[in-house]
Structure 1
Amino acid sequence: MTQSDIDRQWWKEAVVYQIYPRSFNDTDGSGVGDIQGIIERVEYLDDLGVDVVWLNPIYESPGADNGYDISSYRSIDDQFGTMADWEELLAKLHERDIKLIMDLVVNHTSDEHIWFEESRKSTDNEYRDYYIWREGRQVDREGGPHGPSGEAPPNNWESFFGGPAWSYDEQTGEWYLHIFDSKQPDLNWENTEVREEIYDMMEWWLEKGIDGFRMDVINLLSKPDGLPDSEDEDALVVGADHFMNGPRIHDYLSEMHEEVIEPYDAMTVGEMANVDAEQARAYSADGMSMAFTFDHLRLDFGPNGRWSHGTFELPELKRAMSYWQEGLGDEGWNAVFLGNHDEPRILSRFGNDGVYRAESAKLLATLLTTLQGTPYIFQGDELGMTNYPFESLDEVRDVDTLKNVRIAREEGRFADETEMLDVVRRRSRDNARTPMQWSDEEYAGFTDGEPWIPVNPNYEKVNVEAERENRDSVWNYYRRLVDLHHESDLLVYGDYDLYLPEHGELWVYTRTLGDEQALVALNVSDTSTTFEPPDVVAGSDAELLAANYTVDADAVETTDLQPWEARVYKLN
């Protein structure tokens, strides 16, 4: 690619910062973060240099899944503030040229949404077809959920949160589909009225001035006719082979783009499990700006999937990430991320959260900002926040964790409580949801009240105040890398080429744009490792753009890279 070939888009050149509102900053002492808390920290975001804030749901919700169960799409939940607060936040961000994208959760609603409350009143209610209702099946089997007459769920699909994807409703004697929690019934996207309601709501938010949407589980919208049983033993969950990337998903998303997104120059990022590069390119053709894909986040799944622990080697991670770098190089665009509100802390998962906490946090920051694509920083990763050391399930708030642990216990998948807690410490979404660590004051300066979830005990050392005062801190390194990303078309648009793909410690790649080239060398290990520059760059004159250790020379030459050392060179 050359400079003249660049397809410039503002969202390609942006750095995104994800805010999980209930854990970001609390100003009223409720123990839950709020919108005024974000407003209070807008200057912090500006100082970090980010261009876009992705805000997790702040809509009205009963909170069964921390806001991903929405009961009113056009209302702000009281625990976060008011619509006037939200409008003030939008204005404050825009004053600093920071854009705002909102979470779009339209695979399902809350069971307390007026549509569902009406839908379950009777089988002929005008809202009945807004959701997916079916009669049960008369089958001869033991165990599992059954209706009062002995019928089983309509098919064998399972929920991501464990157990069947169906719940029986006594009032009407039928079952409703929920791919997630029973309080999150799936919408029926076959119904044109549902789609019109959703599009009208999206346009309403865009007219209020937002800059786009992060689209929650967006490739689950289309379910196949007849809702057949799954026979794929390798599916992520039973049924995923049918409800992921369903038969009419491209029709729906193309329609959405044409009717809503296109007139606004809005950014869209789709959360899409189980897609390959060819499918992702097809979603780009539907108008999707970029997609979150999850190959790299499944490498540490164990023999029983997500709720068991496995291990992986660096070459596997390089293959998973490089597949997308190469697969979307000319068509589509990458969302570059290592974690978010649904995943463990990136430092504990991919780095070393002990002896080399700062070094490995900086290396991961280097990776995020030098791969091709739009980098996403989840709140606290810029400090080097780590997983929480859970001592019991009493400290866990996440419905996903609690339900899956209960089912795993019932099925005897944990040898003992020690193994169970080890998996929770590694896997629970709550690892990413502990309060933002602002200072070494009580509750990490997050709240004056009792926080809704425990604060990580390392807050006395790992916090914003300490990080900003230290010139060599993780935070300051992130800030410098964000600046570097903004200054360099090469690091945004340049082609990615991987070297030493099977090396067990080194991750080495170049970025090339016309006659410009950069080299990134990462030692992803706890030991010093000899780095020999690839032939294509050996002996080049070079300019050192970034390094997480003190490096004297600009020359790219054979050397020992120290544990978790990262270097970025501009080659001349």
Structure 2
Amino acid sequence: MRADGGMDPATAPSPTGAESAPWWTRAVVYQVYPRSFMDSDGDGIGDLGGILQRLDHLTDLGVDVLWLSPVYPSPQADNGYDISDYTDIDPLFGSLAQLDELIAALHARGMKLVMDLVVNHTSDAHPWFLESKSSKDSPKRDWYWWRPPRDGMAAGDPGAEPTNWQSFFSGPTWTLDEASGEYYLHLFDRRQPDLNWENPQVRHAVYEMMRWWLDRGVDGFRMDVINMISKAVGPAGELHDGPPIPGSALGSGYASFICGPRIHEFLQEMHREVFAGRSEALLTVGEMPGVTVEQARQFTDPARAEVDMVFQFEHVGLDHGTSKWEVHPLRMRDLKASFGRWQTGLADVGWNSLYWDNHDQPRAVSRFGDDSPQYRRDSATCLATLLHLHRGTPYVYQGQELGMANYPFTSLEEFADVESLNHHVHAVSAGHDPAEVLAALRTSSRDNARTPVQWDASPNAGFTTGRPWLAVNPDHVEWNAAAQREDQTSVFAHYRRLIALRHDDPVVALGDFHLLVPEHDEVYAFTRSLAGSALLVVCNVSRTPHDLAALLPESVGAELVLGNLPEDDTAQLRPWEARVLRLPT
């Protein structure tokens, strides 16, 4: 029972069967990238103490789950995605005691904590790798992928790497260890060696670690590039050259390690060993670059017991050319086709995760919306409405609920991201124009998502009393949480209403999806229907007004449930306007 006398949405009786659906179908997840969320000790780097200070913001927003990007001990080669100890907290971010305090504080507020799980690779400073590297005879040698040079070639010769695979962070996936004369595999940075999941000792060490966190009170895991843990291995343990395949927002993957031959076996084993008996209270989401709809149906089919949902990258690759650094204008009909394919493909089996932004993607309002002063607020709320009214679990990335935009980078020195800096080195060395390379970084760098959260209009946006590790966007003077908190027309207020609608109306969480006007390049429209209730969602993703009644006659006479612009009686859909309408039954 709520304080206002109404039933809590989680317990209210429903004729639609919503009460028997998994809890995460009506939940909203909020991602915290701790380096940039809130700094509590003045060192310029966000930390657990800072998260604890800002929990009221998450409560006010109404989210159900906090997904925490890595806070484990790490040399920080990839900002914590290179882990050197899986069962501790890096002093940069705080302590295990503070993590326990965060779990307790979230649970007291009715929220859950999902930790980032990075087990495709470790840091090269992890004790497992140090032992593996110590000798060819080390008992942990086979915990990682070690291979000799290609046949007939000497270690260190150009092209002597064991396979032709290219790293997502530029260059070969193999680095030579001079001491042993063998190469080790790293799909990402050379300081992130890949674990060998073919070795059962590796798998069970990972499962033991996962159980340790769940026993501590963690409520699930977001599994980093988890569909890369299975590599295509020959009968004698050999790895082979492979053709690149498209579909990864990180770059091109290779058929040899994207959804490899044992991936389902590994995830089913993980479920048995870690989640069985307690999985209904948890959330498991697998980040899976290059995954197809057909594969996602298998991964998320409850009968197969693998993961609850996956992060797919198809929609965030639609504006890419041959790589993420080659950006093309997004055609709205392509986005509709992609979203529609995933909505239809997972309608009867599995579940979608819904996102625009995360720590690896540029800001959505700058990328898919219109961050000009005139339309920034309207396009941010329009994009939010479009996404949250789809069927699936929405993910809000920190600052997205404030309409945060890309940073106005002017020089290479302003970037910190290892992927961006590596790309600049390789691209310029290959003869590309440095000015064009810098322009690509400005548009596509992950640093766009990593500038500090803008809490207020003070010099460092209320993020730190020290010098921020990454520059604060100068637009924070106008775009910040303090300015939006009491403004009922703000981006923040609109997110609150969207999240409340998902909690309150089962049709948002569970309704069928039907795409309308699929070929229209400026209006995105669809219906959601469940047990006699139907919503019409209409979003104008352009600066051009459109005649709503002429385009969608069924909208005439429909009741406005939620809109992002002041209500009016005209049939004209204004620039970047979004309307959620209840259709007559």
Distance 1:9 1:125, change over 3 A: same
The equivalent residue for 1:98 is 111
The yes-or-no answer on 1:363 pairing with 2:382 is: yes
Q: Deviations over 1:24-79 (max 9, x none)?
A: 00010000001000000111110110000000000000000000000000010000
Q: Note the C-alpha offset of 1:82.
A: 0.6
Query: In the alignment, residue 75 of structure 2 is paired with which amino acid?
Result: P
Q: Deviations over 1:246-279 (max 9, x none)?
A: 0000000000011111222221011011111110
Q: Note the C-alpha offset of 1:8.
A: 0.5
Q: What is the SS of the residue equivalent to 1:437?
A: coil
Query: In the alignment, residue 460 of structure 1 is paired with which amino acid?
Result: V
The equivalent residue for 1:143 is none
In the TM superposition, what are the counterparts of 1:313-462 in structure 2 within 5 Å? 313-354=331-372, 355-412=374-431, 414=432, 416-462=433-479
Q: Note the C-alpha offset of 1:166.
A: 0.3
Q: What is the SS of the residue equivalent to 2:339?
A: helix
Give the length in aligned residue pairs. Answer: 559
The yes-or-no answer on 1:249 pairing with 2:263 is: yes
Query: In the alignment, residue 3 of structure 1 is paired with which amino acid?
Result: T
8 Å CA contact 2:245–2:254 kept in 1: the answer is: no
8 Å CA contact 1:23–1:33 kept in 2: the answer is: yes
Query: In the alignment, residue 64 of structure 2 is paired with which amino acid?
Result: D
The equivalent residue for 2:567 is 551
8 Å CA contact 1:157–1:238 kept in 2: the answer is: no
Q: Distance in 1 between matches of 2:253 and 2:434?
A: 30
CA RMSD of aligned residues (A): 1.8
In the TM superposition, what are the counterparts of 1:494-509 in structure 2 within 5 Å? 494-509=511-526
Q: Distance in 2 between matches of 1:100 and 1:497?
A: 33
In the TM superposition, what are the counterparts of 1:27-176 in structure 2 within 5 Å? 27-138=40-151, 147-148=155-156, 152-176=160-184
The yes-or-no answer on 1:193 pairing with 2:212 is: no
The yes-or-no answer on 1:512 pairing with 2:522 is: no
The equivalent residue for 1:272 is 288
Q: Distance in 2 between matches of 1:287 and 1:570?
A: 36
Q: What is the SS of the residue equivalent to 2:86?
A: strand
Q: Distance in 2 between matches of 1:500 and 1:139?
A: 59
Q: Deviations over 1:276-302 (max 9, x none)?
A: 111001111343100100111011112
Query: In the alignment, residue 437 of structure 2 is paired with which amino acid?
Result: M
The yes-or-no answer on 1:570 pairing with 2:582 is: yes
Q: Note the C-alpha offset of 1:476.
A: 0.7
Q: Note the C-alpha offset of 1:422.
A: 1.8
Q: Distance in 2 between matches of 1:312 and 1:388?
A: 20
8 Å CA contact 2:402–2:480 kept in 1: the answer is: yes
Of residues 482, 489, 495, the one that matches 1:478 is: 495
The yes-or-no answer on 1:209 pairing with 2:217 is: yes
Q: What is the SS of the residue equivalent to 1:453?
A: coil
Of residues 478, 483, 486, the one that matches 1:469 is: 486
User: What 5-or-longer segments of structure 1 have no aligned partner?
Assistant: 141-145
8 Å CA contact 2:555–2:583 kept in 1: the answer is: no
Distance 1:564 1:139, change over 3 A: farther
8 Å CA contact 2:404–2:479 kept in 1: the answer is: yes
Query: In the alignment, residue 46 of structure 1 is paired with which amino acid?
Result: T
- TM-score if structure 1 supplies the norm length? 0.95
8 Å CA contact 1:11–1:267 kept in 2: the answer is: yes
The yes-or-no answer on 1:181 pairing with 2:198 is: no
8 Å CA contact 2:173–2:188 kept in 1: the answer is: yes
Q: Deviations over 1:160-215 (max 9, x none)?
A: 00100000001211000000000000000000000000000000000001110000
The more displaced of 330-339 and 544-553 is 544-553
Q: Distance in 1 between matches of 2:144 and 2:253?
A: 18
Q: Note the C-alpha offset of 1:348.
A: 0.5
Q: Distance in 2 between matches of 1:85 and 1:235?
A: 39
Q: What is the SS of the residue equivalent to 2:483?
A: helix
Distance 1:481 1:340, change over 3 A: same
8 Å CA contact 1:206–1:264 kept in 2: the answer is: no
Q: Deviations over 1:109-167 (max 9, x none)?
A: 00000000000010010110100000011467xxxxx7346771101011000100000
Q: What is the SS of the residue equivalent to 2:385?
A: helix
User: What 5-or-longer segments of structure 2 have no aligned partner?
Assistant: 1-14
Query: In the alignment, residue 562 of structure 1 is paired with which amino acid?
Result: R
The equivalent residue for 1:230 is 242
Query: In the alignment, residue 497 of structure 1 is paired with which amino acid?
Result: H
Q: Distance in 1 between matches of 2:486 and 2:247?
A: 48
Q: Distance in 1 between matches of 2:104 and 2:207?
A: 24
- TM-score if structure 2 supplies the norm length? 0.93
Give the share of equivalent positions with the same residue, in percent.
49
